[in-house]
Amino acid sequence: MTAVLSVRGLTTVLHLADGPVEVVKSVSFDIGAGETVALVGESGSGKSMTMLSVMGLHPQPTAEIVGGEVLLDDVDLVGADERYRRSVRGSSMAMVYQDPMTSLNPLMRIGAQIEEVLTAHGTSRRAAQARVLEVLAEVGIPQPARAARAFPHEFSGGMRQRVVIAMAIALRPALLIADEPTTALDVTIQQQIIALVRRLQAETGTAVMWITHDLGVVARVASRLLVMYAGRLVETGSTRAVFARPEHPYTAGLIAAIPPARVAERAPLRQIPGAPPDAAHAPSGCPFHPRCPEVVPRCREEMPPLTQRPGSAAACWVPPSQWSVPADAERGQAS
């Protein structure tokens, strides 16, 4: 599979009053054409900062990329000038945020906003106007001509998110980065948006990077997942393999913390003591060690590398065969 995006050793720091803090720590991954990959993490894991860095939209100068490469069509965006980066944003890769109003101007008609994205990348005004109506219809907005003349506040949250998706796909980007696009929406609307993204993907072959904290969404949308903790990737692999046999205790804990579906007997949920650290206070060695049931002395000293296995990788000194809490422990019995 050809990679649409190759991220190599991406490292981003935040310049805080006490000095620089690494919030994205040597993150590497590929996304293949047409693939859906989930980037999973809790608050402070660095998942959003990773993708903002990929897009070149990290809040500068507070945030700074200090290492690594972001290869889009084999061109390194980190080293490229801002004009080139701007030219690929929107056309080759586009981002959808949790809050649609991040991307929408409240004072501008919706059609004009989408048109602006198109003309900024060289589409003629006339062609852009036609494309606006087409793309609004593609994302399932009724009466596109009327919608194009409306302002964002005239739409519900779900419809606004459709507008933002229309804006993001208007130039048929090879990669769509969706940062918690359904977290603020009701679950029946979330399902509509998931179905929409899937349909667009099937029609256009866009690759999708879905950033989420919700393992249910991961299981529904992604063929592969990347698990992030305290600025690092701690596990990657195919969604099915990772859910069936997690190789990092954090991933295993997260999966077992969720009430299992369709069980007849309800058992207490797996607990992970403590709370996710923020990057500024990440513990030494493996950042998960203070919360980990499998901790050994080495974990406190040394960060384990993300060890590649066929189709998966995990950053843990203790192999699952030696865990004291097996990955499938404490799960209720399926009926």
Partner 1 sequence: MTESPILRAEDLVKVYPIRGTGQELRAAAGVSFTLDRGETLGIVGESGCGKSTTGRLLVRLEEPTSGRIELAGEDVTRVRGRALRAVHRRIQLVFQDPFASLNPRLTVAQTLEEVLRVYQLAGDKAGRRRRVQELLGMVGLRTGFAERYPHQMSGGQCQRVGIARALAVEPQVVVLDEPVSALDVSVQSEVMNLLTRLRDELELSYVFISHDLGMVRHISDRIVVMYLGRIVELGPWRAVSDEPLHPYTRALQEAVPLADPDLEAGREIEPLRGEVPDPANPPSGCVFHPRCPLAEDVCRTEDPALLELLPGHQAACHVAAREVARAGRPA
> Which span sits near partner 1 by CB under 8 A: 71-79, 203-211, 254-262, 315-323?
254-262
Binding mask 155-184 for partner 1 (x = CB under 8 A): -x-xx-------------------------
Question: Under rule CB under 8 A, which residues in 51-90 are in contact with partner 1?
Answer: none
Q: How far is the CB of 213 from partner 1 (least distance, A)?
A: 6
Residue span binding partner 1 (CB under 8 A) among the ranges 2-10, 128-136, 214-222, 292-300: 214-222
Q: Shortest Cβ distance from residue 63 to partner 1 (Å)?
A: 22
Of 8, 172, 220, 245, the one binding partner 1 by CB under 8 A: 220
Which CB, 132 or 197, lies closer to partner 1?
197
Best CA proximity match to 24, nearest among 57, 64, 75: 64
Which parts of 137-156 interact with partner 1 (CB under 8 A)?
Answer: 156
Q: Which of 71, 112, 269, 325 binds partner 1 (CB under 8 A)?
A: 269
In whole angstroms, the minimum distance from the beta carbon of 334 to partner 1 comes to 9
Which CB sits closer to partner 1, 196 or 233? Answer: 196
- Residues 178, 261, 226: CA angle, nearest 5 degrees: 35
Residue 42 C-beta: closest distance to partner 1, Å: 4
Tell me the C-alpha to C-alpha distance, in Å, between residue 28 and each of 40, 44, 155, 306: 14, 18, 38, 10
Task: Tell me the residue type at 2.
Answer: T
* Tokens linked to 23: 């919030």
Q: Does 262 bind partner 1 (CB under 8 A)?
A: yes
Which of 67, 276, 290, 293 touches partner 1 by CB under 8 A? 276
> Rounded to the nearest whole angstrom, what is the least distance from the CB of residue 251 to partner 1 in the complex?
11
Q: Name the nearest CA neighbour of 179 among 276, 52, 89.
A: 52
Question: Is there binding between residue 233 and partner 1 (CB under 8 A)?
Answer: no
Closest residue by Cα to residue 51 from 183, 170, 175, 165: 175
Nearest to 172 by CA among 204, 124, 196: 204
**How far is Cα 277 from Cα 285, in angstroms, rounded to an integer?**
13
Rule CB under 8 A: choose which of 86, 172, 213, 245 binds partner 1: 213
Out of 42, 64, 73, 116, point to the residue binding partner 1 (CB under 8 A). Answer: 42
Longest dimension (CA), the chain: 66
318: buried, middle or exposed (CB in 10 Å: 19+, 13-18, 0-12)? buried
DSSP secondary structure letters along 92-159: TEEEE-SSGGGT--TTS-HHHHHHHHHHHTT--HHHHHHHHHHHHHHTT-SSHHHHHTS-GGGS-HHH
Instruction: Between 127 and 329, name the residue whose CB sits nearer to partner 1.
Output: 329
Least gap, CB of 66 to partner 1 (angstroms): 27
Q: Give all strands of the β-sheet with 75-76 in edge-to-edge order.
A: 19-32, 3-16, 63-72, 75-76
The size of the interface with partner 1 (CB under 8 A), counted in residues, is 49
Number of other CB atoms surrounding residue 26 within 10 Å: 17
Q: Are 264 and 335 in contact (CB under 8 A)?
A: yes
- In degrees and rounded to multiples of 5, residue 224 shows phi and psi of -140, 150
Of residues 287 through 316, those in contact with partner 1 by CB under 8 A are: 291
Contact positions toward partner 1, by CB under 8 A? 42-43, 156, 158-159, 186-192, 194-195, 213-221, 239-240, 243-244, 250, 253-255, 257-262, 264, 266, 268-276, 291
